[in-house]
Amino acid sequence: MRFGSKYYFLLMYVGALVVSSLPALLKHGDNQHYTSLGASGGVAAVIFSGIVFFPGAAFLSFY
């Protein structure tokens, strides 16, 4: 798998989502009324991995 491929990105994003959801799952796993939905862990992983792997690249953010 090439480093810059879309499959690598997808694998990293889904893996980061799973890993970032584990603490909430371990803390609230027995509470049936607790719901959680979000992609902030995956987005943060993608942003910071881009900073680590490509430190000289431009970072553009849209609001």
Contacts of 41 (CB under 8 A, 6+ apart): 16, 17, 19, 20, 21
- Assign 5 to helix, strand or coil: coil
pLDDT digits (tens, 9 = 90+) for 7-26: 888 888 888 888 888 888 88
Instruction: Tell whether 48 is covered by a domain.
Output: yes
pLDDT digits (tens, 9 = 90+) for 26-53: 898 888 888 877 788 888 888 888 888 8
Whole-number pLDDT of residue 21:
86
pLDDT level of residue 3 (50, 70, 90 thresholds):
low
What is the pTM (predicted TM-score) of this model?
Answer: 0.67
Residue 11 lies in domain: 1-25+38-56
Number of domains in the chain: 1
* CA–CA separation, 13 and 43 (whole Å): 7
Whole-number pLDDT of residue 40:
85
Which two three-digit tokens encode residue 36?
């959680």
Amino acid type, 14: V
Instruction: Tell whether 33 is covered by a domain.
Output: no
Instruction: Tell whether 31 is covered by a domain.
Output: no
Whole-number pLDDT of residue 4:
64
- What secondary structure letter does DSSP report for 3? T
